[in-house]
Amino acid sequence: MEMQSSNFARSGSDPRAVAISRTQPRGWTGRVFEPLAPSWRLLAAAKSGAIDEDEYIRRYREEVLSKLDPATVYADLGENAILLCWERPGAFCHRRLVAEWFEEKLGVAVPELGAGGADDREQTRLDGFSSRPIKEVRSNCVRPPRPKGRGMLRAAATSIEF
């Protein structure tokens, strides 16, 4: 088998799956490889439209990929890993930047599972990526009782999902 890329919806239950995203689905128990995740700052800039696709690619390569050794990362992930993040196949996604990085540096093709494959350059574009609003997710947290003689404990009421 070869390394592939996909998203949580399609391949999250596959035992070869490795999350390379900043967040994972609730209850995720699979492997996580955080060094390939984009920074919160980079994600926020892309989602808000503050940077264009070329700037995202430049910054991801500079902030993330340039600090890593591709051969070591490939070995750590395993040659049959499925690299996961949130975006649907065909949408811009950093997992395709990782796939291109492996191809460029190691000569290893990392196709998208069930889609266009490693040569699908459209997946490294921000088309439709920056126009989507950040979703606010309400949690079902219950505020704990206020302890006597101390400040109020607070549970997180909202979170941001990317």
Domain extent listing, the chain: 4-132
- Tell me, what's the pLDDT at 115? 57
Confirm if 122 and 129 have CB atoms less than 8 A apart: no
- Residue-wise pLDDT for 73-85, tens only, equals 999 999 999 999 9
Name the band, by pLDDT with cuts 50, 70 and 90, for residue 114.
confident
Asked if 14 and 82 touch (Cβ cutoff 8 Å), the reply is yes
SS3 content of the chain, % helix, strand, coil (to 5): 35, 15, 50
Residue with tokens 């126009």: 131
- One-letter-per-residue 3-state SS of 84-121: EECCCCCCCCHHHHHHHHHHHHHCCCCCECCCCCCCCH
The structure tokens listed for 45 are 């800039």
Q: Is the pLDDT of residue 162 over 80?
A: no
Q: What is the pLDDT of residues 7-63, one digit of tens each?
A: 999 898 899 999 999 999 999 999 999 999 999 999 999 999 999 989 999 999 999
